[in-house]
Amino acid sequence: MNPTRNAMSWEELAIYAADPIDQINGLNNPYSLLRLFNKSESEAIITLYRDNHAWCPYCQKVWIWLELKKIPYRVKKVTMRCYGEKEKWYLRKVPSGMLPAIEIDNHVITESDEILLVLEEIYGPLGQPLNERKVLEHRRLERELFSSWCNWLCRNSLFQAQEEQKKKYFKSVAKKFELELQKTASGWLTPISTENGEKPGSADVIFIPYVERMNASLAYYKGYSLREEHPFINTWLENLEKLEEYRGTQGDFHTHAHDLPPQMGGCFTYSNSTQQIFAHKIDTGSGLGELELRDCKTDQNSDKKFEAIALERVIKHKEKIIDISPMKNKLFDQPLRAALTSMISKKDCSPENKSAFALRYLRDRISVPRDMPLLSGRLFRKALERTATIDGSDQGPKIPTNNRLDQNPLPFN
């Protein structure tokens, strides 16, 4: 069947878009500048300074802690140096530019663990205190796991035996983590009993950001499936994905695979058949299915829900998306509508000629969760690639690895 050229108009597409969410009192989300949990705004005495793109793992740690505790807070977003110039107003407040930071009564605290210790003093711990003996042991284990991952991912192996040794060491530390997860019936390290069942506690929150990034980066650069190799870590991740407090912060494999190199000082590929398959699926937008997200079935109804969210997010920013496209003079308007039409209608829709490079440019720069949730990002990326393929094989500008200045947030401020 030949693809249609009749891309829907923006007015027609808007019919299928989701309604904007309640950013203040609704589900956790990366867009909100104020979170109240149905409490008074006067209770929001904390300001969280976090990065614009929700790439910073240490910001994510504090963010999840506040959400799990349902502490009212304000958000101010700051540019990370890897994707733009740090705001002068923030450097006056935090001369080092370090993220995250919190501000309470004009007093600024940096370093994520120090922030959590201060929050514990004010609001009480998230279950067991961070300085309780068992939690301290878990915190040391998290640093050991982080170190073994960094050694494998960020230091180039000169020969195969060295690569295998790094992999073996990482697996041994990951199994230590699994042994700790097996010690509770819930599968949490430090479970908290709530009226809605058990939820993760302080030690779990410490592990979340980098285990999420390990899952993505080891698949992309090494062909290593953390979830398949480590079933108890998989169960822990599954349980996390059932929590809206976590899902609102969760990045996808494409985002992490390409935001980590400038943050970590480089990520090294160990090429093998599985790695090549994984990297291709991640890069072209189809993703790795349940290796990324297990708890949300992608049936027709859920697809419509997440397509509607993607559509709402794109329509909100469509002028800016078109302005920064490498297709100049508003020429990207029709290809963008064609991709969205394809996503909604499940039918191919031809874009303007010579638009493939611009469609793939956008595909590569969707950032999850900054722009939209994981499944929305996956569905939109697939539609962009499908539409680009109709036009041709031209690729967009390569994603840089030394910096991500291609993701400068200034055009969207």
For 79-125, write each residue's pLDDT tens digit: 999 999 999 999 999 999 999 999 999 999 999 999 999 999 999 99
pLDDT band at 384 (very low <50, low <70, confident <90, very high): very high
pLDDT, tens only, 190-246: 999 988 889 999 999 999 999 999 999 999 999 999 999 999 999 999 999 999 999
Fold designation for 45-123: Glutaredoxin (3.40.30)
| 142-180 b/e (C-beta count within 10 Å ≥ 16 → b) | beebbebbbebbbeebeeeeebeebbebbeebbeebbeb
What pLDDT is stored for residue 382 in this prediction? 98
pLDDT band at 297 (very low <50, low <70, confident <90, very high): low
Distance, CA of 232 to CA of 365 (rounded, Å): 32
> Given the structure tokens 């979170």, which residue do they identify?
35
Distance, CA of 188 to CA of 279 (rounded, Å): 31
What pLDDT is stored for residue 241 in this prediction? 95
pLDDT, tens only, 149-205: 999 999 999 999 999 999 999 999 999 999 999 999 999 999 999 888 899 999 999
Domain boundaries, the chain: 10-18+297-412, 45-123, 133-291
pLDDT, tens only, 119-138: 999 999 999 999 999 999 99
Residue 103 has phi, psi (to 5 degrees) of -125, 130
Whether the pTM exceeds 0.85: the reply is: yes
What pLDDT is stored for residue 195 in this prediction? 85
Helices (H) and strands (E) in the chain, counts: 17, 7
Fold designation for 133-291: Glutathione S-transferase Yfyf (Class Pi); Chain A, domain 2 (1.20.1050)
What pLDDT is stored for residue 30 in this prediction? 97
What pLDDT is stored for residue 120 in this prediction? 98
Distances 117 to 63, 65, 387 between C-alpha atoms, Å: 14, 11, 49
Q: What is the mean pLDDT of residues 8-13?
A: 98
pLDDT, tens only, 23-41: 999 999 999 999 999 999 9
